[in-house]
Amino acid sequence: MATQQSKRAKTRTEAPPAPAPAKASTPHHEQVEDYGGGAIKARHGRVNVWLLVVYLVLIVWAIYYGFTYWGGLGPGLDY
């Protein structure tokens, strides 16, 4: 039992591992972050203009559809 206690005490007093060095030499938008042990890689950047246009078109379409086709009592129930 004394050996188990000494192992526990030893693991509690160990210093945490040092953090990975910062990538100060590369610009922020070119730095890559790894998640899931390197299975997922993420890079900081901007949203493409075409994707913003798609978002805008979808929002406008949703508002149009909501006002034009949604509401009322349903098909054949307009009294």
Task: Encode pLDDT of 19-78 as tens digits.
Answer: 565 556 877 777 888 898 888 988 888 889 999 999 999 999 999 888 888 766 666 666
Please tell me the predicted confidence (pLDDT) of residue 22: 57
Please tell me the predicted confidence (pLDDT) of residue 42: 87
DSSP state of 29: G
Please tell me the predicted confidence (pLDDT) of residue 60: 97
Question: Higher model confidence: residue 58 or residue 17?
Answer: 58
Please tell me the predicted confidence (pLDDT) of residue 30: 77
Q: What's the predicted TM-score (pTM) here?
A: 0.43
Please tell me the predicted confidence (pLDDT) of residue 50: 97
Separation of alpha carbons 14 and 10, rounded Å: 6
Separation of alpha carbons 60 and 68, rounded Å: 12
Q: What residue segments make up the domains of the chain, in order of their start?
A: 27-70
| Cβ contacts of 34 within 8 Å, gap of 6 or more | 40, 41
Separation of alpha carbons 38 and 32, rounded Å: 10
Of 27, 60, 29, 22, which is closest to residue 44 (Cα–Cα)? 29
